């Protein structure tokens, strides 16, 4: 059985757990509250007023004037995310982090029932609450698709276990976009061929689906039946990568060269860290520059040798940007390293010589942190200017009572 553990309003709940004066109040986590930006997370108390993650702060202030604005602290969330990961690993080695606040767990053996898995899940919810003061919603199903979708059925602190029949009962009446992986564009195409609900998709004849979507057509139909055979990939087992890259959508379009180069440095550092943690070296550096009209330019250069260090990656990316950027405001920048090879010194000895768990956790830390960056959860421009990410110790997370919370007029 697969569990998807999804922390409830994670960043906001962490702030409430660490600052008792925030409990029971509408809390909005954001970048720098004094700058233009977006809501990173909203506590459940703020949600009835309509505040949602991704919303401009200005709008949030209008909807929920009493909210308390807290500057987000990515290091704290990553540290907590890793402590949660540790807890999951005490239950099963098969843990796949899905985002900073979600993870898939495979529990039990073949023959384990939904009820057995529910007992494990309920127990896990209690432990998370007792140890961290946080709520989690858990979805349970025979595969990742059902577990993921079940987790969204009841929140916060929900526990939803569905088999395939339960999945159909829950989702067939819902709009087709409710299906995991079906975005706006695809649902629009589905509607064009008369498929409005998940059930319509499940009952659709194979022909038109295949004509419209090619090989994805039959897979979509399978998904509507709650069928999914994508394996859970434990986070310490990587797949061979062809390239590694990171990009970030800026909180505000920018034509400030210092800020943009700072961003390239941060992205280069993320890419280099990930190369090292997964044991690769690479030889081609590519920068991606997207302007406000969504025109994207990709420029690449081959290095003299293979590397996993941020310096040559950054210097090449910066040179490419200086040569090809026309000075217009950019909305997205990215750095990718390709032409990868296994790093020669990266044999298994490190894993055995040192604490295996520490190595795994370091890798996970990078990944979770990368996801934070990728998702632009914290407006990256703000972060690069004011502080660089530093290593997070694995000890208990210390709250800074009152220090970062501030009430907005
Ligand atoms: Mg969540």
Considering the domain architecture, whether residues 272 and 300 belong to the same structural domain is answered as: yes
User: Could you say which DSSP state residue 152 is in?
Assistant: T
Do 362 and 249 lie in one domain? The reply is: yes
276-309 confidence digits (pLDDT tens): 877 788 999 999 999 888 888 999 999 999 998 8
Q: How far is the CA of 269 from the centre of ligand 1 (A)?
A: 27
More confident residue, 81 or 171: 171
List the catalytic residue out of 45, 71, 96, 102. 102
Which of the four pLDDT bands, split at 50, 70 and 90, describes residue 27?
very high
267 in a structural domain: yes
What average pLDDT does range 231-248 have in this prediction? 72
User: Is the domain of 258 the same as that of 207?
Assistant: no
Q: Contact at 8 Å (CB) between 54 and 42? A: no
Picking from 73-82, 261-270, 351-360, which range would have the lowest pLDDT averaged per residue?
Answer: 351-360
Between 144 and 181, name the one with better pLDDT.
144
How would residue 249 be classed by pLDDT, with cut points 50, 70 and 90?
confident
Tokens 């757990």 label which residue? 17
- Tokens 């919303």 locate to 55
Q: Do 329 and 215 reside in the same domain of the chain?
A: no
Residue 93 lies in a domain: no
Question: CB 393: neighbour CB atoms within 10 A?
Answer: 10
402 within domain boundaries: no
Q: Is 340 within the bounds of a domain?
A: yes
| Joined tokens for residue 152 | 């969204």
- Per-residue pLDDT tens over the stretch 216-227: 888 899 999 999
Centre a 10 Å sphere on the Cβ of residue 36 and count the other Cβ atoms it contains: 12
- Lowest-pLDDT choice from 85-89, 151-155, 244-248, 401-405: 401-405
Position 33 confidence tier, pLDDT thresholds 50, 70, 90: low
286 inside domain: yes
pLDDT for res 366: 58
- Residues 214, 180 share a domain: yes
Structure tokens at 121: 């899940």
Let me know if residue 152 belongs to a domain.
no
What is d(CA 253, CA 245) in angstroms, rounded to the nearest whole number?
A: 21
Higher pLDDT, 202 or 237: 202
- 118 Cα: distance to centroid of ligand 1 (angstroms): 19
The 10s digit of each residue's pLDDT in 126-164 is 999 999 999 999 999 999 999 999 999 999 999 999 999
User: Looking at the predicted structure, is the pLDDT value of residue 182 above 50?
Assistant: yes
Mean model confidence pLDDT for the chain? 82
Binding-site residues for Mg(2+), in ranges, read: 6, 101
Is the pLDDT score of 268 beyond 50?
Answer: yes
Could you tell me if residue 94 is inside a domain?
Answer: no
Q: Name beta bridge partners: 313.
A: none
Asked if 268 and 382 sit in the same domain, the reply is yes
Angle at 329 between CA 324 and CA 331, to 5 degrees: 95
Rounded CA separation 54/58 (Å)? 12
Tens-digit pLDDT profile for residues 197-216: 999 999 999 888 988 888 88
Between 81-95, 166-180, 377-391, the lowest mean confidence (pLDDT) is in 377-391
Beta-bridge partner residues of 30? 39, 71
Half-sphere exposure of 44 (CA within 13 A, CB side): 15
pLDDT of residue 243: 81
**Claim to verify: residue 205 and residue 337 sit in the same structural domain:** no
- Cα of 103 vs centre of ligand 1, distance in Å, is 10
**What pLDDT sits at residue 195?**
95
Tabulate helix, strand, coil % of the chain (nearest 5): 45, 20, 35
pLDDT at position 358, please? 46
Each residue of 338-384: pLDDT tens digit? 988 877 754 444 433 334 444 455 555 555 555 444 333 333 333 33
C-beta separation of 10 from 83 below 8 A: no
Count of domains observed in the chain? 2
* Res 208: pLDDT: 87
* CATH value at residue 308: 3.30.1490.100
Task: Please indicate, yes or no, whether residues 262 and 352 belong to a single structural domain of this protein.
Answer: yes
Model's pTM, two decimal places? 0.63
Instruction: Report the alpha-carbon distance of residue 365 to residue 357 in Å, rounded.
Output: 12
178 closest CA partner among 194, 190, 193: 190
CA 194 to mean position of chain CA atoms:
33
Kindly report each contact of residues 173-178 with a partner whose C-beta sits within 8 Å and lies 24 or more positions away, as own/partner.
Answer: 173/197, 173/198, 173/199, 174/198, 176/200, 176/201, 178/149
Residue 367: inside a domain, yes or no? yes
Could you tell me the residue range of the domain that residue 256 belongs to? 243-386
Residues 219 and 325 occupy one common structural domain: no
pLDDT at 369: 52
Instruction: Say whether both 374 and 248 belong to one domain.
Output: yes
- Same domain for 343 and 211? no
Query: What is the structure's pLDDT at 126?
Result: 98
- Rounded Cα distance between 253 and 265, Å, is 18
310-324 and 257-277 helices, crossing angle to 10°: 140
On whether both 261 and 317 belong to a single domain, the answer is: yes
Task: Examine the residue annotation and report whether 222 is marked as an active-site residue of this protein.
Answer: no
Q: Output the CA 160–ligand 1 centroid distance in Å.
A: 15
């Amino acid at each position: 059985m697969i569990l998807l553990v999804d922390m409830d309003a994670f960043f906001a709940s962490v702030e409430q757990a660490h600052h008792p004066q925030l409990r029971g109040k509408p809390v909005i986590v954001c970048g720098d509250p004094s700058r233009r930006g977006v809501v990173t997370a909203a506590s459940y108390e703020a949600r009835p007023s309509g505040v949602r993650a991704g919303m401009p702060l200005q709008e949030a202030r209008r909807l929920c004037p009493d909210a308390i604005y807290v500057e987000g602290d990515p290091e704290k969330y990553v540290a907590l995310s890793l402590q949660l990961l540790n807890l999951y690993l005490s239950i099963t080695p098969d843990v796949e982090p899905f985002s900073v606040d979600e993870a898939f767990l495979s529990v039990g053996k073949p023959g384990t029932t939904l009820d057995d898995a529910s007992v494990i899940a309920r127990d896990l919810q209690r432990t998370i609450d007792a140890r961290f003061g946080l709520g989690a919603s858990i979805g349970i199903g025979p595969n990742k698709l059902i577990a993921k979708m079940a987790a969204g059925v009841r929140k916060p602190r929900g526990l939803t276990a569905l088999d395939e029949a339960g999945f159909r009962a829950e989702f067939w009446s819902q709009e087709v976009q409710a299906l995991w992986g079906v975005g706006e564009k695809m649902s629009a195409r589905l509607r064009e061929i008369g498929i409005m609900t998940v059930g319509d998709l499940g009952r659709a004849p194979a022909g038109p689906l295949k004509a419209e979507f090619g090989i994805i057509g039959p897979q979509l139909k399978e998904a509507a039946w709650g069928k999914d055979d994508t394996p859970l990939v434990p986070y310490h087992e990587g797949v061979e990568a062809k390239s590694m890259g990171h990009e970030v959508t800026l909180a505000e379009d920018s034509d400030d060269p210092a800020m943009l180069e700072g961003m390239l440095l941060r992205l280069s550092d993320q890419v280099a860290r990930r190369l090292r943690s997964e044991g690769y070296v690479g030889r081609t550096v590519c920068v991606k520059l997207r302007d406000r009209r969504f025109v994207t330019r990709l420029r690449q250069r081959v290095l003299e040798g293979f590397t996993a260090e941020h310096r040559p990656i950054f210097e090449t990316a910066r040179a490419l940007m200086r040569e090809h950027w026309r000075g217009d405001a950019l909305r997205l920048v990215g750095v990718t390293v390709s032409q990868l090879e296994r790093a020669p010194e990266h044999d298994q000895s490190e894993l055995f010589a040192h604490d295996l768990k520490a190595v795994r956790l370091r890798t996970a830390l990078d990944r979770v942190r990368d996801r934070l960056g990728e998702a632009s959860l914290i407006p990256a421009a703000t972060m690069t200017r004011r502080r660089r990410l530093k290593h997070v110790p694995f000890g208990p997370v210390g709250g800074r009572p009152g220090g970062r919370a501030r009430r907005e007029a």
